[in-house]
Amino acid sequence: MMVSTKGRYALTVMVDLARYSDGGFVSLADIAERENLSMKYLESIISILNKGGMLESLRGKNGGYRLARAPEDYSINEILLLTEGTLAPVNCIMQDGVQCEKAATCSTLPLWAGLDSVIEKYLSAVTLDDIIKGNRKKMLGDYCDHCETEQ
């Protein structure tokens, strides 16, 4: 599994904020209840999003979180990258400039690099706004049954 619950829940939180914030701060308790997720666990996840500059927060009573930018300015790739650390499908992909010692002679490396590129390209093209709007054309592409008639 490339994306753990951490990344999935992070995305869920971002989508929830985009949907229910309308400029004001939304408490984590509200998010957890709406999405039916453990608030305590979400705490650690939203903390990553907050420190990563994805959110603005307000402490104290009536505090909470809200998006730092417009939904269309968040790519799914950056959200998942922040929370998961890496989205590389294998650990032999170059990380922080460090690559596998066998890289020069490895015949399967181009495959993994290509797969990594395909994933990054896809996730970079979809925005938070696409998810909220239910933009099936962009998300499902050729695989969407209704994209010809809808959209």
Partner DNA sequence: ACTTAATCCTACCTTGGTGGTAGGATTTAC
Partner DNA sequence: GTAAATCCTACCACCAAGGTAGGATTAAGT
The contact set with its own copies (CB under 8 A) reads 1-3, 8, 11-12, 15, 76, 88-92, 107-108, 110-115, 117-119, 122-123, 126, 131-132, 134, 136, 139-143
State the CB neighbour count (10 A cutoff) for residue 89. 15
Among 24, 33, 34, 58, binds DNA (CB under 7 A): 58
Instruction: Tell which positions 66-95 bind DNA, by CB under 7 A.
Output: 91
Cα angle 54, 58, 61; round to 5: 145
Choose between 60 and 110: whose C-beta lies nearer to DNA: 60
Among 24, 47, 114, 117, binds DNA (CB under 7 A): 47
Q: Could you say which of DNA, its own copies, none residue 113 binds, taking C-beta under 5 to 8 angstroms by partner kind?
A: its own copies
Cα angle 115, 81, 19; round to 5: 115
28 binds DNA (CB under 7 A): yes
Query: Could you tell me which of 90, 59, 79 has the C-alpha nearest to residue 14?
Result: 79
Which residues, 6+ apart, have CB-to-CB distance to 139 below 8 Å?
126, 130, 131
33 binds DNA (CB under 7 A): no
44 binds DNA (CB under 7 A): yes
Long-range contact pairs involving 26-34 (C-beta distance under 8 Å, separation at least 24)? 26/64, 26/65, 26/66, 27/63, 27/64, 27/65, 28/64, 28/65, 30/64
Q: Could you say which of its own copies, DNA, none residue 92 binds, taking C-beta under 5 to 8 angstroms by partner kind?
A: its own copies
Choose between 90 and 144: whose C-beta lies nearer to DNA: 90
Evaluate whether 67 touches 17 at the Cβ level (below 8 Å). yes
Contact positions toward DNA, by CB under 7 A? 1, 4-6, 27-29, 38, 40-41, 43-44, 46-47, 50-51, 57-65, 91
